[in-house]
Amino acid sequence: MTTYKGINGFAVQSVATDPSPLDEGQVWYNNATYAFKLASATTVGTWAAGGNLNTARQELGGAGTQTAAIGFGGSPAPVGVTSTELYNGTAWTSNPTGLNTARQALAGAGTQTSALAFGGFSTGNSAASESWSGTSWTSTPSLNTAREALAGFGASNTSALAAGGFTTGNSAATESYNGTSWTTVNSLNTAGYARIGFGIQTAGIVAGGSTPTPGFSTATESWNGTSWTSNPTGLNTGRDYAAAAGVQTLGLIFGGRSTGPVNIAATELWNGTSWTSNPNSMSTARRQLRGAGTQAAGLGFGGITTVSVANTEEFTGPGSPVTKTITTS
């Protein structure tokens, strides 16, 4: 007779709390809720509420993962704020030390313990760059081109890329950071500001943004560490001031502003070649928010509706195991 243990090599366990991480097909009995449960793969990506930021803000920078993120800077102060907050997967904690240069419309890269903040707007376009050690910020060599509303991504505070933005007009400038200095490298094919990027210093994506034509852009460009290549298929919904998460071959874009202009909650998934609209959108339509994490486990926080918001939402990507209660119905 075939049994669950014979198929899986272990019996159904009785536990007081649901296991984590989950393996698809895993079955257990939760003796605290008196229910059999199953780890089942999601078919579409879904959003769920997370803990709110302590300081509602828009145009902030950020980096990290869904369970270990960092948010910094932003507005509504006239020239930005310095405040820094850390997310543990449940709640945000305000860090006692903030950025050295208060600013908004800045970019970020790295992790919760090794992040980089660069560019933005203070009393004017900023070239400031700062490194985060996990406890405090240290000023580092500045960008070669001061700009706001730029795209940025990277793996740590010693490995990042800055692209596009606004100077006295739309910019296509790209700079690479090695932990010591910023170096100007090959420019984007499409100049624009309020574009969004994700990936690492040698392999990333920049999409959307505001461009002279057609305005709310669908353009997508891929970075190979040396140059940018325009992707033949762009976003399904042109947008600027959106947020993103992921790597060059598996990413996520969400929120922003689109034709109208109106705030949107629409979410799209990137498979390395093309974008697919996800059936489930964010709960709160907003622009000028920030993202972190991966396509499987993303995070969106902050932004503006008609006022600055503190809302945080967590994304579970398609194919990710989720807990379902087994019933007789």
Quick: pLDDT tens for 263-312. 999 999 999 999 999 999 999 999 999 999 999 999 999 999 999 999 99
Q: Which of 318, 316, 310 is nearest to 74 (CA)?
A: 310
290 φ/ψ sector (left φ>0, alpha ψ -120 to 50, else beta): beta
pLDDT digit string, tens, across residues 129-141: 999 999 999 999 9
Domain annotation for the chain: domains and CATH numbers:
4-41 (no CATH), 46-316 (2.120.10.80)
- 21/39 Cα distance (integer angstroms): 10
Q: What are phi and psi of 91, to 5 degrees?
A: -145, 155
Per the confidence metrics, is the pTM higher than 0.85?
Answer: yes
Residue with the larger pLDDT of the pair 64 and 33: 64
Provide the token pair at 86: 């850390």
Bridge partners, residue 210, by sequence: 193, 216
pLDDT digit string, tens, across residues 101-119: 999 999 999 999 999 999 9
Query: How buried is residue 205: exposed, middle or buried, by Cβ count under 10 Å (0-12/13-18/19+)?
Result: buried
Provide the token pair at 100: 């050295």
User: Which amino acid, one-letter code, is at 257?
Assistant: R
Other C-beta atoms closer than 10 Å to the C-beta of 107 total 32
**Residue-level pLDDT at 212:** 74
Name the percent of the chain in helix, strand, coil, to the closest 5.
0, 45, 55
Q: Which residue's entry shows tokens 């305005």? A: 215
**Residue-level pLDDT at 24:** 65
Interval 149-174 mean pLDDT: 97
Q: Which of 8, 65, 58 is nearest to 38 (CA)?
A: 8
